[in-house]
Amino acid sequence: MSILRLTIARFNKTWMYLKNYAYSQNLNLECACDVILDPLFKFVDKYTIVLGQIMVILVIFLTTFVVVIAYWIGLPYWWNNNKLLTIFLLIFGNWLLVNVIFHYYMGVTTPPGFPASRSLMYYDEVICKKCDSPKPPRTHHCSVCNKCILKMDHHCPWLNNCVGFYNHRYFFLYMMYMTFGSLFIIIFGAEIVFKEVFFREEDPDGHPVKVNTSLSKTDWVLTFQDEYENINFDYDRVAEWRFWCIMVITFITCGVFIALAILTIWHSVLISSGETSIEGHINKFETDRLNAINFKYVNVYDYGIKMNWILFLGLHSGRGWRHIIFPSAHKPLGNGYIWPTKNDIFEVFYNEKFKT
């Protein structure tokens, strides 16, 4: 009801503005479009926050569902086939799971980085018109959070958080580990799905039937039949549940794998070029614009592929691969306010102005 009331109130407000503008001498199409679209944007921004909370619950629910099914169906299946392989799968699968949980939790709970106050400004020439905060290089205003975000990448509804300077690495590694996790389930679940769909056994061997052999032979036959029928009824219900769980998990993991594999590759390309998602658009636009007048656009934050990845993953100051393959809460180098250009990048490792 509150959504309906809000929509009606917004409509009335827009209608009033439009009537005011209609009497105005300065009415033009651009102005009218702004008036019409403004409440729409505000409406979308407002409900993106609510949607974000629902999506976080959905991510936690679906991940838990997939893990429970993997333990319920996958673990006994592989344990009966190959015990040594199962031990390896348990270790490998849980390593992926720990990384997925850690990076998701950190991505959701780590603030992306806000240019807090004017007192911290290094260059005071740029101020955000929307939130009145300083706007250092690579900072953009998020209309959902209604704040400026340091090195903003995008507002992610799946994290219900903006992706920026302090949580960009968590966001990327979450996507990467989730892609590997889905692939892991697909590879080691494929045989189970295949057998379940194409070789669904009508009356499989091995289900438990209790027989009371202490009775006389006539009673024994009757007892066996009774028990068999009861247990078979339960077995059919469990088999039906099992079948649908396998179908749902197949759908979820394949969908997540395709979507996240594409996104991970896309973000890898951006990180290799020293760009955020927003800068990817801006840089493409500038490249085309300058190409048209025979100039070459240079991204001053592109330090070369290797250095871009070292800085993005924080693999400096003695850190190495174990800080990627195991959860690590290290912060990115710098403060998100001052950005070295490609010409003074090596200063970043010893010049204090980049660190404080």
Catalytic sites, residue numbers: 156
Number of amino acids touching Zn ion (CB under 5 A): 10
Residue with smaller CB distance to Zn ion, 128 or 338: 128
For the segment 132-161, give every residue that binds Zn ion (CB under 5 A). 141-142, 144-145, 148, 155
Sign of CA dihedral 338, 343, 347, 348: positive
Q: Determine if 128 is a binding residue for Zn ion (CB under 5 A).
A: yes
Q: Determine if 245 is a binding residue for Zn ion (CB under 5 A).
A: no
Minimum distance between the CB of residue 49 and Zn ion, rounded to whole angstroms?
A: 9
Task: Report how far residue 250's alpha carbon sits from residue 277's, in angstroms, rounded to the nearest whole number.
Answer: 30
> Which DSSP string corresponds to 113-173?
-----GGG-S-TT-B-TTT--B--TT-EEETTTTEEETT--EEETTTTEEE-TTTHHHHHH
Minimum distance between the CB of residue 168 and Zn ion, rounded to whole angstroms?
A: 13
Sign of CA dihedral 137, 141, 142, 147: positive
Minimum distance between the CB of residue 133 and Zn ion, rounded to whole angstroms?
A: 5
Reading the block at residue 275, the tokens are 């760009």
Residue with smaller CB distance to Zn ion, 59 or 142: 142
Task: Report how far residue 235's alpha carbon sits from residue 207's, in angstroms, rounded to the nearest whole number.
Answer: 8
Minimum distance between the CB of residue 146 and Zn ion, rounded to whole angstroms?
A: 8
For the segment 162-181, give every residue that binds Zn ion (CB under 5 A). 162
For the chain, report the end-to-end CA distance as a whole number of angstroms: 49
Stretch that binds Zn ion, among 88-96, 131-139, 167-175, 301-309 (CB under 5 A): 131-139
For the segment 271-330, give every residue that binds Zn ion (CB under 5 A). none
Residue with smaller CB distance to Zn ion, 83 or 129: 129
Minimum distance between the CB of residue 3 and Zn ion, rounded to whole angstroms?
A: 21
Q: Determine if 70 is a binding residue for Zn ion (CB under 5 A).
A: no
Q: Determine if 130 is a binding residue for Zn ion (CB under 5 A).
A: yes
Query: In sequence order, what are the residues at sequence separation of 6 or more whose Cβ sits closer than 8 angstroms to the Cβ of residue 37?
Result: none
Query: In sequence order, what are the residues at sequence separation of 6 or more whose Cβ sits closer than 8 angstroms to the Cβ of residue 270?
Result: 276, 277, 279, 280
Residue with smaller CB distance to Zn ion, 97 or 278: 278
Q: Determine if 192 is a binding residue for Zn ion (CB under 5 A).
A: no
Q: Which of 131, 192, 245, 282 binds Zn ion (CB under 5 A)?
A: 131
How do strand 154-156 and strand 147-149 relate by DSSP bridges? unpaired
User: 226-233 long-range CB contacts below 8 Å, 24 or more apart?
Assistant: 231/207, 232/207
User: Using CB under 5 A as the criterion, which residues of the chain lie in contact with Zn ion when the complex forms?
Assistant: 128, 130-131, 141-142, 144-145, 148, 155, 162
